[in-house]
Amino acid sequence: MRILCLDIGNTHTHYAVLENRRSLLCGELDTPHIASAADGVPALLASQAMRELAPDGISFCSVVPAATERLEAALKNCSTLPVCRVYHGNCPGLGIHYPTPHEVGPDRLANCIGAQVRFGAPAVIIDMGTAVTFDILTENGYEGGIIAPGIGVMTRYLHEQTALLPALKPQDLLLAEDDKAIGKSTLSAMRFGCAVGFAGMIDALLETVLEQLKKDGVPAPKILATGGCAGFLPRTWKDRIHWAPFITVQGLEEAFLRTFTGPSAATGD
């Protein structure tokens, strides 16, 4: 089956058409106004590429309530395809061991379903977007996680809350090997502070999570990274983590298949 998967985030809406866990088409819709995140979906469905791919169903998650409502209304008006919405009340095959499941972001649940089918449990999924989230998957399901500011939040806050510090672009934060640790300008000081500080925050949070899992008797987990800011992780991490850029949409595809065709037999790569 070909499934159109939509991941509506705070900054961007990512989409992909997947078949047998392989992407046939993927892209991104700009969301300059959060509430309008779903506006581009009808046009996407009517596009030539979508007509040629002819998906058999739609699966989505959204962290923007206003966009969720608009998307559901749009799908009723422009599509007769079966729809799966992933949220705490519908995450097939994933147990949620959390006192307040309604507080868990749907994208985080989709990430865990994607980790289940692609890598197996236990796993720690680090999603680096507008916010950084750590989510813990065990054999029992979703156990909880951590939320921290993303690198974009850090840089914007410095600029917006000070009179003299400039705004940084993402490319400003990519450090070269010969960059010195002591800034010789405001820009270089901010670059090093944000880029290295962000990586250090991720490292400290991960070590805390791994220590807790060890105390709880959980076997050493796979460490998965996704999200647009994952490129700011230190190069030394390449042997430590699995880069999983499509894990959210893969989780959405799996949720659809579990909903409409039954449990998957796949257990990972």
Domain identity same for 166 and 263: no
Q: What is the pLDDT of residue 177?
A: 64
Domain identity same for 18 and 115: yes
Q: Which two tokens stand for residue 252?
A: 């959405």
Q: What is the pLDDT of residue 110?
A: 98
- Catalytic residue status for 107: yes
Q: What is the pLDDT of residue 175?
A: 64
The strand ranges marked E within the chain are 2-8, 12-19, 22-30, 57-62, 83-85, 123-128, 131-138, 141-149, 222-226, 242-243
Domain identity same for 5 and 114: yes
How far apart are alpha carbons 180 and 192 in whole angstroms? 9
Domain identity same for 77 and 171: no
Q: What is the pLDDT of residue 265?
A: 42
Q: Which two tokens stand for residue 105?
A: 């972001």
Q: What is the pLDDT of residues 127-151, one digit of tens each?
A: 988 789 999 999 999 999 999 988 7
Contacts (Cβ under 8 Å, ≥6 apart) of 122: 136, 137, 138, 139, 213, 218, 219, 220, 221, 222
Q: What is the pLDDT of residue 102?
A: 95
Q: Is the dihedral of CA 17, 20, 24, 29 positive or negative?
A: positive
Domain identity same for 170 and 138: yes
Domain identity same for 110 and 6: yes
Q: What is the pLDDT of residue 19?
A: 95
Choose the catalytic residue: 39, 56, 107, 127: 107
Number of domains in the chain: 2
Domain identity same for 84 and 147: no
Q: Which two tokens stand for residue 225?
A: 């990274």
Domain identity same for 251 and 203: no
Pairing of strands 222-226, 141-149: unpaired
Q: What is the pLDDT of residue 111?
A: 97
Domain identity same for 7 and 93: yes
Q: Which regions of the chain are under pLDDT 50? A: 34, 36, 265-269
Q: What is the pLDDT of residue 268?
A: 42
Domain identity same for 80 and 11: yes
Q: What is the pLDDT of residues 152-168, one digit of tens each?
A: 787 877 888 888 787 88
Which of 79, 51, 60 is CA-nearest to residue 15? 60
Domain identity same for 130 and 215: yes
Domain identity same for 56 and 72: yes
Q: What is the pLDDT of residue 211?
A: 97
CATH of the domain at 200: 3.30.420.40
Q: What is the pLDDT of residue 189?
A: 83
How far apart are alpha carbons 69 and 34 in whole angstroms? 12
Q: What range defines the domain where residue 213 resides?
A: 121-243
Contact 43, 79 (CB under 8 A): no
The whole-model pTM stands at 0.87
